[in-house]
Amino acid sequence: MRIAFVSFETVHHTDSETNQRLHTVLELLHEQGHEIHVFCARFWDGDHRTFEHEGITYHGLSGSLEARRSFLVRLPVAIAGTSPDVIHARATPPTQVLWARLAGTITRVPLVLEWYGDGGVSDGWWTRRAGKWADRIVVPSELVATWVRELGVGADAIDVCPNPIDVDLVQSVEPGEPVDVVYARRLDADANLESLFLALAEFRTRDWTATVIGDGPERGAYERLASDLRIEDRITFVGDCSLEERIAAYRGAHVFVQTAEHCVFPTEMLWALASGCVGVVEYHVESSAHELVEGWDRGFRTTSEEELGDAILEAGDLERRDYDERFAEYDESVVRDAYLTTYRTLQESSGLL
């Protein structure tokens, strides 16, 4: 299958969650032998319009991210020149969805819209129209699906497709040192690590250890908070780690705690749960993390620091594991097949198969 991805900005421009999500999807499809064309702003040196990188063809329709108009007006003809089987566009900027829709009309192929929702979903005219132009919208969680429905998009036009993990990789990494509680996230204003620390501080007389994975502008403030609460000797801040190092830490840990205030999909938590951790989530209205533990006997959803502490204690009574097959449904192969099913269903409904 030949797939045209439309993303004015890519992971090669900015390493954001949204860009990472789309890049993961196109890589998974490429690995299975599908032909991938990405239409974007140029990120490589030189004036050549196309650039081959790791088997994927990038089409630079503008010289930089400042030249958005030239990118948009060139998009329909450029896409048509590759004769795609399906067009897959990022929802932002929403103006590119209009031109991608025009390309779909010219080539008579369906348009799938990737709506990740990192940073929220704005309620503007262009954004609302973008939801109407797509034949199908893919989102990472029910949280984002709700945001998109609030723009007037019907529920039957939305597919929820999670961020994938590599289950084989999880099982291949040796478990790290045993630890009671692990937390992992960029340590910024949304991390809300103080909720976990305040809960843990109530258990000073108990024997426990915790690991904090990640770095960021608020790390110093959190280290000072741990000291103020007199629990700094129980907590290890390890900073940024490779994926394999994080998996090792999760496989050695007993409980993973998620307290972040904003999270469209808790990818790190998913890696941890697949690695055998019990999941404890502090509910926040702009976080989808609770979706992973609802209806699961090794998951806890809390709404206060008192409940958070009680859940951590209760979670500690459950057996330790270093792998949980329940999360095999989030494997890369399953997620890739979900996208291919969406593409083929749209092609069938359009009479293209």
Predicted confidence band at 129 (pLDDT cuts at 50, 70, 90)? confident
Q: Do domains 2-164+331-349 and 167-329 have the same CATH topology?
A: yes
Q: Is residue 352 over pLDDT 90?
A: no
195-199, 204-208, 321-325 — which is least confidently predicted? Answer: 204-208
pLDDT tens-digit map of 53-91: 999 999 999 988 998 999 999 999 999 999 999 999 999
What pLDDT does 119 receive? 67
Residue type, 211: T
3-state per-residue secondary structure call for 279-294 = EEEECCCEECHHHHCC
Cα gap 199→116, rounded to integer Å: 32
Mean pLDDT for the stretch of residues 291-312:
94
Q: Which tens digit of pLDDT belongs to each residue from 102-121?
A: 999 999 999 999 999 886 66
CA dist 86 → 3, 4, 256, 262 (Å): 5, 6, 39, 32
pLDDT at 128: 84
Cα(6)–Cα(99) distance, rounded to whole angstroms?
A: 10
For the chain, the structural domain boundaries read 2-164+331-349, 167-329
In this prediction the pTM is 0.95
pLDDT digits (tens, 9 = 90+) for 232-272: 999 999 999 999 999 999 999 999 999 999 999 999 999 99
Judge whether residue 351 has pLDDT over 80. no
Are the CB atoms for 113 and 145 separated by under 8 Å? no
- Topology of domain 167-329 in CATH is Rossmann fold (3.40.50)
CA-nearest of 16, 20, 52, 55 to 34 is: 55
- pLDDT tens by residue, 180-200: 999 999 999 899 999 999 999
pLDDT tens per residue across span 151-162: 999 999 999 999
pLDDT at 297 over 80: yes
Residue 317: CB atoms within 10 A of its CB come to 7
Which helix (H) or strand (E) element contains residue 144? helix 142-149
Name the pLDDT band for 124 (thresholds 50, 70, 90). Answer: confident
* 142-151 confidence digits (pLDDT tens): 999 999 999 9
Nearest in space to 188 (alpha carbons), one of 117, 132, 259 = 259
Cis preceding-peptide flag for 140 (omega within 30 of 0)? no
What pLDDT is stored for residue 126 in this prediction? 79
Identify the CATH number of the domain defined by range 2-164+331-349: 3.40.50.2000
Average pLDDT over residues 6-18: 95
The predicted pLDDT at position 127 comes to 82
pLDDT of residue 49: 92
